[in-house]
Amino acid sequence: MTLACSTCGATFPKASAYAPEVDLCTGCGAAVPVEASVAEDRLLLGSHPDLRVSMVDGPPRHIDAWARGGKKLDYWVATQGPDRDDIDVRLTLRIQQGTPDKVAAGMTFRATEAGAYGFRIDANGAFQICHWAGGTLESSLVAWRQTGALRKGLGKHNQLRVVMRGVHMRAFVNDVLVASLHDARHTAGVVRITVEPDDVDAHVAYTQFLVRDASE
């Protein structure tokens, strides 16, 4: 499906996954309305005894996730396929409940059974970029660090964006570049929304999830 921007006149393909009610113009960044019937594309919600995921009508419409703490698990809230190599992903979320520095929420990308990359934040103003081998967090490509680009506190909206072409990865928080690096371990895979509670239960709302092939 192709969308047209009334602000700059550009046309562009609709992003995949969960983009409730609006998409973002690839030319100027303006919000473009999307019919609700086409807002969800190949989105598979997570299923686990300690995870509850639901679609909430809003306003605004969002994916709601509750995860039980104490298990030290990274839960898959939703998965969007098919496998992609070069990607441009935007995820807007707010951590609603949990100790601010003990709940990590974000995304994994180029995810397969062999592993994935991860980009996640907490509610205390920090982010991490990591590498998963199988189901195990193997290493941090960027260790947890504070950034002034994040809005601190529970209930605050923050947007994460990852653009990866080939081995070059760029990560943004609220449109501020926070990391640029190269890594060749994962070449293609699906994109997932994730949440990891620590010793406390977590509640996270995901209000936008846009996935598209990265353009040159």
In a domain, 10, yes or no: no
How far, in Å, CA of 55 to CA of 32, rounded? 21
In a domain, 177, yes or no: yes
pTM of the model: 0.83
The pLDDT confidence band at residue 57, using thresholds 50, 70 and 90, is confident
In a domain, 74, yes or no: yes
Mean of all residue pLDDT scores within the chain: 86
| CA end-to-end distance (rounded Å), the chain | 20
pLDDT at residue 215, as a whole number: 67
Length of the chain, please? 216
Judge residue 121's burial from the number of C-beta atoms within 10 Å of its C-beta, 0-12 exposed, 13-18 middle, 19 or more buried.
buried
The residue with tokens 């997932």 is: 192
Q: What's the CATH code of the domain at 142?
A: 2.60.120.560
pLDDT tens digit string along 130-148?
999 987 888 899 999 999 9
Domain count, the chain: 1
8 A C-beta contact, residue 161 and residue 149: no
Q: Kindly report which listed range (70-74, 80-84, 178-182) carries the lowest average pLDDT score.
A: 70-74
Give the domain extent around 190. Answer: 44-213
Instruction: Give SS3 for 37.
Output: helix
CA-based torsion, 112, 121, 210, 214: positive or negative: negative
In a domain, 39, yes or no: no
In a domain, 33, yes or no: no
70: left (phi over 0), alpha (psi -120 to 50) or beta: left
